[in-house]
Each structure stands twice: as C-alpha cells, then as structure tokens.
Amino acid sequence: MVSISISMAGLLAAAALSLSRWGHSSRINALRRQDYIEEASSNQAPFNQAWNSFKCSSYGENCWKSRCCKDQDRTCYAKDRGFAECRLNCMPGIDVLESPKLQTPWSCAVVKKHSVCSKVGHNCTKTKCCQDPDMRCYYKDPGWAECKLNCTAGINPDEPKHLQAPWSCVVAGSNLNIDPVPAVETSSTTPRPDSAVVASQTCTRIYGSPSLYCFSLMMPFGYEVSLIRTQLAKGASIFSCNAWDVISNESVVLSPGPPSIIRTEVMPGNMVCKFGGPYDTALNSEIFWRVWVKVFELKRFVEYDWSVKMDPDAVWLPNRLLMHVVDREPASLVYLNNCDEGLHGPIEVISKGGMKAFDLGKQHCHDLLIKEWMTYGEDVWVRRCMGLLSVARIDDYMLLREKACKPFKDPMPCDTQAVAFHPLKSPARYFACLDQANYAQEDKPKG
C-alpha cells in the first residue's frame, strides 16, 4: 500500500514538472512565433511557386479566371470582359496578327489576382474589383460599393429597411478586376509617315478633290488611346482622310509598324482642365489654343481643301462629308456650323481660306477672348474667333448627331445620314455605330 502511494506521488510530481516545462516552452515559442512564421513562409515559397505553376495559365490559354501566368515573365492582359491572355507585352486596340475573325480590340488591362479583390458582400470601394470574375463592383454611394452580378439603379426593395438608399450602379474602377495600362511613351524624334501607309480595313480611303486634312487631340492614356489605335488599324475616322495628325502632350506609339512606327505629334503643356461655366462643360479653351498653334506650326492644312478637327470618340464617315462640301469653294472664308446651339466640338470643319484667316488672326482671337476661357469650352472660343475674323458661318445640321443638339437624341442607333455621331467611347460601341452607319448608307435608295 505504501509502495503504491509513493508511486502515485511520484507520478503526480512528474506530471507537474512536465506541465511546468511545457508551459515554459510554450512561452518561449510564443516569443519566437514571428521568427517561426517568417521561416515557414520562406520554406513555403517553393511550394507556392509549384502550386502557381500548376494552377496558372500557359501562353495561349485564357487567364481571365486563373489571373496568373505560369511563365513569370508574362502578364495576364485582358482583351475584353471574359478573355485574357498571358503575353510579354500588349498594345490596346486591334492585334493585326490575330485571325481576321478574332480581330476585336484589346483593352490590354492587367488582370488582378484574386487576393487583392473583394469578396461578395464586402465593400469594394478600395479594391474596385471582385474575386468572382463574373461580378462587378457597383457603387451605391461614394462610401459603399458591392460585388454583384448586376445592378439596377434606385432603391433595392430586398435590402433591410434601414439600408434602403438609392444605388447609383456606377461600376468602380476601369473595368472590375483589371488595371489600366498607361500608353507607351517613346521618343518623338522618329518621323511620322504619311497616312498613305495605312491600309484601310473598314473605310474607303479618300483621294482626289475635295481633299481633307484631319486631326484629333488624344489624351496620352485611357480609352482614347485604345480608340485611336483601333481606328488606325482599321483605317477609320481621320485615318481615311487624305492626310492626318494625332496630337497629344506626350509621344505615344500609335502603331509599331510595319512598315513604320507611327507616333503622336507632341504639343507642350498638360491636358488638365476644370469643368464649369453655364453648361458645366470642360473649360478646355487653353488646351485647344495649344492644339491649334501646333496645327498651324505643322502647316499640313495648306495642302488640302478642308480641315477637320475630330474628337476621338466621334464616329464619322469622311465620304459623307465630301457631299456637304463638294459644291463649296475651298478658298472662301467659311466654317460649317453643326448644331442649333452653335458650333459643337466633336466635329469642326473649316475651309482652306478659313484656316488661313484663322492662322493669321489666331493671336488677335487669343488676346480678345482669353477672358472667356474660364467660362466656355473650346468650341465657343472657335466660333467666336471665326466671327472676329469674318469667317462666315454656314449652318449644316446634318453634320452631327448628339444629345446636346436637336433632335436631342442619343447617337445610337447610328442609322441616319448624319456625317458624325457622338459620343461613342469604347471600341465596341464605336465600331458597332460605324457598322450601322455604313449599312444605312449602303441601304439608302439610289437616285
């Protein structure tokens, strides 16, 4: 009985000592936990790399859902919503190396990894993307956005009563789980070839008389870069004129060739402007003052009958414009007014005579009208300058279809005989409108 008691006491003592040592060891391990985690993470790296190699996409595969590439030198670039590919680089617009039936515009946005995007039901105002690639991050108000399959603006009756505030349903970010890629910056020393090097795939090139010189101002990043590059690849918009220029405040590659690299013409200064005035429009007169100075420095307009300033997001058919000017004298001092409210900026058409008068009198207009630059946009400045220089206004309301001018309708469907339709900001909508306009033109009865 005594031996049993001793043995039991010994066991209890041993157990107490063991527990004490475990607790001491646990405290030491707690102090070392950060070191342990860092070491474990380091040891885990080869495993993570192997796992990524297993689950990520290979070159040529759709990486929209995997959002990563097996080849670490490649990046997952989005073409559109639903298709992305692992590439070494990407240029927004049409990829002319693709099969013709696959030639739709690339957005070239970088697809984000799941880990940085928001889960269903979480506020996605900061991440501006969703872990579920089929969802979009929709804003309710400036402080709340949520990942949803779709969104209807207004009150959602399915929400709890205390949360029922209107949804704006504006999509956060550039397009969900993708980051926009800035346009490529390159040296502006390489001469830009004449527009004759561009093979038209969509529009008929203009030759003969009357001749057109066309130009656009392009932001050096964002949707305008994609639009202009796709227009160039298809020979659409200003690229079907006899001569053209794209002006920006940075040198941006529009086409890598062949046969030659094509870049923007560079003007000095930035492209930042405020919104305001009686119409709450872009107060961009100072920016376009620099654009016009650049146009007059280039002097290409003197070789052609009519000059046309086009917004990048305005769909237009140059061959239709010819029908509006064919019976007019290019040497006369005239411009075409496109709106009942006065000249609107998406398309501005000026005769050679008008352009020469504009060139000679631009400083006079600058000095007299500069006080209005923070009240009106560039189109008001141009039309007032035309008046100061005695360049006559010719009303032609079939030039433009946009909501700001009679009959105050959306440009789509683009099935009227108007010369231009505005605004169409995405390549998909732009070329859908262009197809509708071309179809309407072909379908028009002859005679």
CATH number at residue 400: 3.90.550.10
Residue 135: phi and psi, rounded to 5, are: -105, 160
pLDDT the model gives residue 36:
33
Co-location of 279 and 398 in the same domain: yes
Q: Is residue 363 part of a domain?
A: yes
Q: Is residue 6 part of a domain?
A: no
Co-location of 98 and 125 in the same domain: no
Co-location of 147 and 72 in the same domain: no
Co-location of 243 and 152 in the same domain: no
Co-location of 121 and 208 in the same domain: no
pLDDT the model gives residue 25:
35
pLDDT the model gives residue 27:
35
Co-location of 425 and 300 in the same domain: yes
Q: Would you tell me the crossing angle of helices 285-298 and 352-369 to the nearest 10 degrees?
A: 140
Co-location of 104 and 170 in the same domain: no
125 is written with which tokens? Answer: 């105002």
- What is the residue whose two structure tokens read 């058409």? 349
Domain encompassing residue 90: 53-111
Question: What digits encode the pLDDT tens for the residues 235-277?
Answer: 899 999 999 999 999 999 998 877 788 999 999 999 988 888 8
Q: Is residue 139 part of a domain?
A: yes
Q: Is residue 347 part of a domain?
A: yes
Co-location of 78 and 223 in the same domain: no
Residue ranges of the chain with per-residue pLDDT less than 70: 1-54, 114-115, 173-208, 441-447
* Cα 226 versus chain centre, distance: 6
Q: Is residue 181 part of a domain?
A: no
Co-location of 119 and 242 in the same domain: no
pLDDT the model gives residue 201:
34
Q: Is residue 147 part of a domain?
A: yes
84 is written with which tokens? Answer: 């992305």
pLDDT the model gives residue 173:
55
In Å, the largest CA–CA distance within the chain is 129
Q: Is residue 97 part of a domain?
A: yes
146 is written with which tokens? Answer: 């949520």
Query: Could you give the C-alpha distances from 22 to 13, 25, 252, in angstroms and in order?
Result: 14, 5, 67
Q: Rounded distance, CA 420 to CA 411, Å?
A: 9
According to DSSP, the β-strands at 400-401 and 420-421 are parallel
pLDDT the model gives residue 15:
45
What total number of domains does the chain contain?
Answer: 3
- Where does residue 277 fall: left (phi above 0), alpha (psi -120 to 50 degrees), or beta otherwise? left
Co-location of 230 and 246 in the same domain: yes
Pick from 96, 111, 126: which residue ends a domain? 111
Of residues 245, 228, 379, the one with CA closest to residue 299: 245
- Nearest-5° angle of CA 46, CA 51, CA 56? 125
pTM tops 0.85, yes or no: no
Q: Rounded distance, CA 1 to CA 3, Å?
A: 5
Co-location of 89 and 170 in the same domain: no
Co-location of 205 and 64 in the same domain: no
Pick from 67, 96, 111: which residue ends a domain? 111
Q: Is residue 307 part of a domain?
A: yes
pLDDT the model gives residue 436:
93
Q: Rounded distance, CA 292 to CA 247, Å?
A: 10
pLDDT the model gives residue 37:
33
Exposed e or buried b per residue across 70-98, where buried means at least 16 C-beta atoms within 10 angstroms of its C-beta: beeebbbbbbbbeebbbbeebbbbbbeee
Of residues 320, 336, 343, 346, the one with CA closest to residue 402: 346
